Structures are given as structure tokens and as C-alpha cells.
């Protein structure tokens, strides 16, 4: 089990203002915080980030928030009030990155557009996350990940061939956009290092998942073909499917490489198909998926999961079990390279969660603390700007903090 500890990440000294809500924008901030950035989470005084109400709770504490809110100070501030906006402008003058995901024009309405914020801070990077971008006919539409998962082609391709389109059971589009957003910020920081200038990043939720879905767009453009749902099969290779073992477990097999396909068919006792002309490419094998699945599925169905896993491993053939989340907590590879971390939470004690996304040799990231309570660091954040205790009390009394 990997235990988190303080570590100087590559972004140490970088200040990030997370003024976004729900998932994509806050995930960008989480990733930057995981790798050393000083992240300040800005939330409405009375309507905090909706992520605090998402998912399961333990003893009244939302568990998902403990992860996506990690490594962030939390401060409350009403940006729609002129005094609140002025405090945000002062805070932004000390920041390197601002992340927001309000509808286009909202920050401008509050006097917080990039033209205003960059006057005092020309090196500021502003990441703006929306469903469909800052411009265009859909710019003002409300959007959530579910909608772009539907529009991206993901739902169209997911599900059984004779079944309906299928949506994911988790925030797929937001998560992909969050990871993409952290990459975009890194690129902007590199540009600033060379030029001294910040910039606006216009990140919509649709673009990253359109890329993740694959080549369907270019197929439609060049061939006039829309890919179809194929369940757990692939049009690119076979055998590729989920197969049930004799002891009622599911195993995943993929044979993108021809050499792996050959090893699988020898292992399951049907080497004769290797000499068939159609076996030479994944696409042609996919046209014979019924035959290949019958051979592979029949062999696996007569054996236990452990026996199948051992045989495939010995043969150098690719295979993996279908895991539940609880299985990940016990997996030796997950344990060996620290894919999870144990973090001490001030409310619930030690908890395991996904660790930082990658392992850096010289500047590893770390989870320094879990998600904090709403507004826990408000006084500290604004005191650093020179706001005295009496003013803080007055602002809080008027609902601005």
C-alpha cells in the first residue's frame, strides 16, 4: 500500500485559482495540485461546488469530494458582488492560473474577463471550461458530460449491436476533459516561460472525448461510413471479447498484435486457423469473430479464472480480469507501483484513493491532504491580501464571504 507524503512537485510555487464547479475544471485543479501547485478553491458562500453533493457519503462526509477536492485550500467568495469581484481581481493578480466554467460572458458581466484580469497580471493563464466552447451557436447552451458523451459518438458506439446506445456510468467526458485541461495549462506555462505572456485556453467538453472515441469522424468524412455498435467485439481485431470462466468470472482478451492472436489460438487448441489467409490481419479476423469466439470461449468456459490466467501468462498472451473497484484495492501491480495512496483525512481517518496520475523521477507529486470543508481557509486566503479581521467579518455578514 502506498502512503502519501509531502513532496516537492514540478509545479511547486505555482498558484491556481479554482473557480470551477462539478468535475472537469476542478479535476484540472486537482491534477495541478497533485504535482505541487498551490490551489485555492473559490466557492459561493451559500451554494458550494455541487461536487460536495455527488456520490456516496460516510458519516455525513461526501467521499468523492475528498478526492477531487484534495490538495486545495477552500475559500468562499461571492463573485457576483462588486466587492467580491474586487477581491477576486486582487487574488488573481497573485495567481498563475485561473480556472472557471461559468457560461460564456458571466465572468465578463462580473468585471472578471481576461482583459481585466491580465491588465495587472499579463502572465495569467485563464482556462475556461464549457460544454461547447466560448463561441458558436451552442455556446450559451447548458451542458453536462452526459450530453457530450451522447454527441461525441461514444454512446452511438457503446452497447450491444442490437441494443440501444449506452451512456457511461461515470463522468467520462468530464474526466477526459480534466486530464486534457491539465495538459493545456502545461503548454501555456511553457509558452509563458519563453515569452512572459499568459493566454486564454478555451476548453470545451466535446473535443477531448471526440478524440478519445477514435477514427469515426474521418471514416464518415472519407468513406461516408458511420461505425456501428459491436458490443464487446472490435472491428479492428479478433478474438477480442469478454469470456466467462467455469467459476463464473469474466476475462478480457485483445489480440491487436498478430503474434498475440497466434499465441491465443495455439493455446486454445486451434492452431489450424493461423494458416488461413484471413488470419493475417486484425480487420479480417474480426470478420470471423463468431468462429474465433467459439473456440476461445469454449476453452475458457471449461476452466477456472486462475487456470486461464496462468495459462495465458505462460503463453505470453494478453489477458486481464474484469475487476470491481474492490479488486483494485487488492491487486499486486496496483500495490507495487503505488496506483493508490493512503491519505489521512481529518474527518474519517486513513482512506485509500487513486494516487497521482503519473510517476516522475525527480519531482514526484503527492496527496498532501484530502478535500477540505467549505470555506475552511477563507480567512487565511484573504488575510494574505491584507484584508483585516473587521473587514472579513463585515464581508461575511453581508454574504460576500
Q: For the domain 15-212+336-397, what is the CATH superfamily, name and number?
A: Crotonobetainyl-coa:carnitine coa-transferase; domain 1 (3.40.50.10540)
- pTM for the complete prediction? 0.94
Task: Show the 3-state SS of the chain.
Answer: CCECCCCCCCCCCCEEEEECCCCHHHHHHHHHHHCCCEEEEEECCCCCCHHHHCCCEECCEEHHHHHHCCCEEEEECCCCCHHHHHHHHHHHCCCCEEEECCCCCHHHHCCCCHHHHHHHCCCCEEEEEECCCCCCCCCCCCCCHHHHHHHCCHHHHCCCCCCCCCCCCCCHHHHHHHHHHHHHHHHHHHHHHHHCCCEEEEEECHHHHHHHHCCHHHHHHHHCCCCCCCCCCCCCCCCCEEEECCCCCEEEECCCCHHHHHHHHHHCCCHHHHHCHHHHCHHHHHCCHHHHHHHHHHHHHCCCHHHHHHHHHHHCCCCEECCCHHHHCCCHHHHHCCCEEEEEECCCEEEEEECCCCCCCCCCCCCCCCCCCCCCCHHHHHHCCCCCHHHHHHHHHCCCC
Question: pLDDT tens-digit profile of 85-117?
Answer: 999 999 999 999 999 999 999 999 999 999 999
Residue with C-alpha cell 455578514? 397
The CA-based angle 29-324-250, given to 5 degrees, is 135
Q: List the chain domain ranges.
A: 15-212+336-397, 241-327
Active-site entry in 38, 49, 96, 174: 174
174 included as an active-site residue:
yes
pLDDT at position 8, please?
Answer: 73
Q: Give the separation between CA 370 and CA 70, rounded to whole angstroms.
A: 4
Band of the pLDDT at 341, cuts 50, 70, 90? very high
Three cell numbers, residue 380 = 487565511
Question: pLDDT tens-digit profile of 361-397?
Answer: 999 999 999 999 999 999 999 999 999 999 999 999 9
Nearest Cα to Cα of residue 215 among 203, 227, 202, 197: 227
241-327 — its CATH code? 3.30.1540.10
Residues 68 and 27 sit within 8 Å (Cβ to Cβ)? yes
Question: pLDDT tens-digit profile of 293-312?
Answer: 999 999 999 999 999 999 99
Question: pLDDT tens-digit profile of 173-214?
Answer: 999 999 999 999 999 999 999 999 999 999 999 999 999 999
Amino acid at each position: 500500500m502506498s502512503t502519501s507524503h509531502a513532496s516537492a512537485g514540478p509545479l511547486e510555487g505555482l498558484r491556481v485559482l479554482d473557480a470551477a464547479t462539478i468535475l472537469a475544471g476542478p479535476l484540472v485543479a486537482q491534477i495541478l495540485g497533485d504535482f505541487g501547485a498551490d490551489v485555492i478553491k473559490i466557492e459561493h458562500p451559500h451554494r458550494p461546488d455541487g461536487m460536495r453533493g455527488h456520490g456516496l457519503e460516510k458519516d455525513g462526509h461526501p467521499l468523492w469530494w475528498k478526492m477531487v477536492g484534495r490538495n486545495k485550500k477552500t475559500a468562499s467568495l461571492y463573485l457576483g458582488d462588486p466587492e467580491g469581484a474586487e477581491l477576486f481581481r486582487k487574488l488573481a493578480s497573485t495567481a498563475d492560473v485561473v480556472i472557471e466554467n461559468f457560461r460564456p460572458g458571466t465572468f465578463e458581466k462580473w468585471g472578471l474577463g481576461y482583459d481585466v484580469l491580465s491588465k495587472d497580471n499579463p502572465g495569467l493563464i485563464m482556462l475556461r471550461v464549457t460544454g461547447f466552447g466560448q463561441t458558436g451557436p451552442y455556446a450559451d447552451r447548458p451542458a453536462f458530460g452526459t450530453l457530450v458523451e451522447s454527441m461525441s459518438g461514444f454512446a452511438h458506439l457503446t452497447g450491444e449491436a442490437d441494443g440501444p446506445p449506452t451512456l457511461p456510468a461515470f463522468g467520462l467526458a468530464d474526466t477526459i476533459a480534466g486530464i486534457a485541461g491539465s495538459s493545456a495549462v502545461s503548454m501555456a506555462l511553457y509558452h509563458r516561460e519563453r515569452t512572459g505572456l499568459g493566454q486564454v485556453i478555451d476548453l470545451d467538453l466535446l473535443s477531448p472525448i471526440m478524440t478519445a472515441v477514435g477514427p469515426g469522424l474521418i471514416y464518415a468524412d472519407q468513406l461516408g461510413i458511420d461505425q456501428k455498435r459491436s458490443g464487446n467485439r472490435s472491428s479492428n481485431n479478433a478474438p477480442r471479447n469478454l469470456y466467462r470462466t467455469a467459476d463464473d468470472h469474466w476475462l478480457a482478451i485483445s489480440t491487436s498484435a498478430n503474434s498475440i492472436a497466434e499465441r491465443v489460438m495455439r493455446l486454445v487448441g486451434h492452431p489450424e486457423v493461423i494458416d488461413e489467409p484471413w488470419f493475417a490481419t486484425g480487420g479480417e479476423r474480426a470478420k470471423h469473430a463468431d468462429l474465433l469466439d467459439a473456440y476461445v470461449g469454449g476453452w475458457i468456459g471449461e476452466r477456472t479464472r486462475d487456470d486461464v490466467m496462468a495459462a495465458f501468462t505462460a503463453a505470453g498472451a494478453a489477458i486481464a480480469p474484469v475487476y470491481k473497484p474492490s479488486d483494485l484495492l487488492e491487486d499486486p501491480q496496483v500495490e507495487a507501483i503505488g496506483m493508490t495512496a493512503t491519505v489521512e483525512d481529518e474527518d474519517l481517518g486513513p482512506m485509500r484513493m487513486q494516487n497521482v496520475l503519473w510517476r516522475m523521477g525527480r519531482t514526484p507529486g503527492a496527496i498532501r491532504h484530502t478535500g477540505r470543508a467549505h470555506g475552511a481557509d477563507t480567512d487565511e486566503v484573504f488575510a494574505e491580501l491584507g484584508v483585516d479581521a473587521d473587514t472579513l467579518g463585515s464581508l461575511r455578514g453581508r454574504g460576500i464571504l
